[in-house]
Amino acid sequence: MTITIYHNPDCGTSRNTLALIRNSGAEPEVIEYLKQPPGKAKLQELIAAMNMPVRELLRKKDTPYEALDLDDGKWTDDELINFMVAHPILMNRPVVVTPVGTRLCRPSEVVLDILPAPQLSEFIKEDGEKVIDKEGNRVLNK
């Protein structure tokens, strides 16, 4: 069973997602996408697997999104993917691929929907929010 996470270790959501994967007993393939960008074909494959519009994978915060005027509707999906290839920081993260599915895991708890194994123990996110209780059950926070 292979699980892959396109990860940015500087991102709290990405770190929490990776920790949730490990809390299920899995050791994923970790791809630091800023060091090893996925390339155009892989991005197209991931977007298709997530069944999401290309624009939903674009990250706006702390990226060249505004400088490149990517909010303009003139850009085609292919052009937007080319921007992500040229500027990997534009790819929102983390993206997780499991045998159950592929998702952009924002918030990090989204990964629970595609993990093939249950959580093994309590899990509290870096910000102190409890996600999994001591019995391994998901905590529904409001």
Catalytic residues: 11
Output b/e per residue, 29-40; b: 16+ Cβ within 10 A.
Answer: ebbbbeeebbee
Q: Is the separation of the CB atoms in 95 and 46 below 8 Å?
A: yes
Burial of 129 (0-12, 13-18, 19+ CB in 10 A): middle
Dig out the tokens for 124 from the structure. 């509290």
